[in-house]
């Protein structure tokens, strides 16, 4: 894959909302799956897509947590129907059960769910570090399990919610689960987010002939429950908490609806037709940047590397 291309630009800004991005779109007849759609960015992503008429399935660990959205849209006959289905991304058996039960095409799969900065090393039942298991491996198993359903949609899209945190770490193929190196919650998170981007490159290399495209994104800095594993001292060091324990909303923070805009852009915008294997932030394609110098914006070359994408695809296939 040659990453030398003109960066795609759109008329939207960092402060555009999901509603702005989807304005004028009619998604009736489209079927969308959003993982982690019952809170934060996922909720606003679901709202935007269903408001435009899409049938949206929220895949979440706690099905009851999505009931408020099901109820909200059941009273809106002009909108798309919302379903809630149980899915635990860290449990491959749960993912397989979801994909076996699914019937019919999938027009858009939004890999939105994630966890961040778990303080101590935790493994799932297959020995996979929990951030990697949840953020990447579970989504990989979901997408590959739904491959035929995505292909049946003709021009299906996969949207992977990554993070500027991918700049913290490439993918360590020698020791991805911290069996031999000291566990660090931030490099573990960064590795999982790099994997999200590499996955979209892998999809581009393997599934283009099926009409399936995949792109990754950084949603921005948004106060959501993704920070639930961070202690108060860490939050203060990030400038997100004052000495009295009150959340500080920084000027660069986005609202959840603004944060969901780039996800919705990649999911439905005509500008993304045929575009695949790229990384976006603030509703624009991001510039490649050198990693390891404290940057929080842009995309690292290692996250778009086709050979690494191949290697990751083979590694992940072997464990799912």
Q: List, by residue number, the catalytic residues.
A: 189
| Contacts by 75-79, CB closer than 8 A, 24 or more apart | 76/51, 78/53, 79/50, 79/51, 79/53
**CA 1 distance to own-chain centroid:** 22
Both tokens assigned to 134: 């949840």
Residue with tokens 């969308």: 32
Quote the CA–CA distance of 160 and 236 in Å, as a whole number. Answer: 29
Query: Helix, strand, or coil here: 162?
Result: coil
CB atoms within 10 A of CB 209: 7
Beta carbons within 8 Å of 158's beta carbon, 6+ residues apart: 108, 109, 110, 111, 143, 150, 200, 203, 212, 213, 214, 215
| Rounded distance between C-alpha atoms, residue 66 and residue 83, angstroms | 9
CA distances from 1 to 63, 81, 105, 218, 284 (A): 40, 38, 28, 22, 21
Phi-psi region of 117 (alpha: psi -120 to 50; beta: other; left: phi over 0): left
Q: What angle do CA 191, 195, 199 make, to 5 degrees?
A: 175
């Amino acid at each position: 894959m040659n990453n030398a291309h003109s960066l795609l630009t759109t008329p939207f800004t960092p402060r555009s909302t999901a509603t702005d991005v989807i304005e004028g779109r009619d998604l009736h007849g489209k079927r969308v799956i959003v993982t982690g759609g019952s809170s934060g960015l996922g909720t606003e992503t679901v709202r935007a897509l269903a408001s435009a008429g899409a049938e949206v399935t929220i895949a979440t660990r706690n099905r009851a947590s999505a009931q408020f959205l099901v109820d909200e849209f059941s009273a809106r006959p002009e909108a798309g129907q919302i379903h809630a289905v149980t899915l635990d991304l860290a449990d491959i058996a749960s993912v397989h059960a979801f994909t076996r039960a699914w019937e019919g095409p999938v027009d858009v799969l939004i890999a939105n769910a994630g966890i961040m900065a778990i303080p101590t090393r935790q493994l799932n039942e297959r020995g996979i570090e929990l951030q990697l298991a949840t953020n990447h491996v579970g989504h990989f198993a979901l997408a590959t399990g739904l491959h035929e359903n995505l292909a049946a949609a003709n021009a299906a899209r996969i949207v992977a919610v990554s993070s500027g945190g991918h700049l913290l770490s490439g993918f360590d193929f020698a020791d991805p689960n911290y069996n031999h190196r000291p566990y660090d919650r931030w490099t573990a998170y960064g590795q999982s987010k790099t994997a999200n981007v590499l996955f979209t490159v892998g999809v581009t290399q393997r599934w283009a002939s099926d009409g399936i495209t995949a792109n990754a994104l950084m949603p921005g800095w948004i106060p959501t429950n993704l920070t639930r594993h961070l202690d108060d001292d860490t939050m203060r060091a990030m400038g997100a908490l004052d000495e009295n324990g009150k959340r500080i909303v920084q000027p660069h923070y986005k609202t959840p609806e603004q944060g969901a805009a780039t996800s919705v852009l990649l999911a439905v915008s005509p500008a993304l037709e045929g575009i695949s294997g790229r990384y976006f932030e603030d509703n624009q394609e991001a510039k490649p940047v050198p990693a390891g110098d404290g940057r929080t914006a842009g995309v690292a070359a290692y996250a778009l590397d086709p050979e690494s994408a191949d290697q990751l695809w083979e590694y992940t296939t072997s464990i799912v």
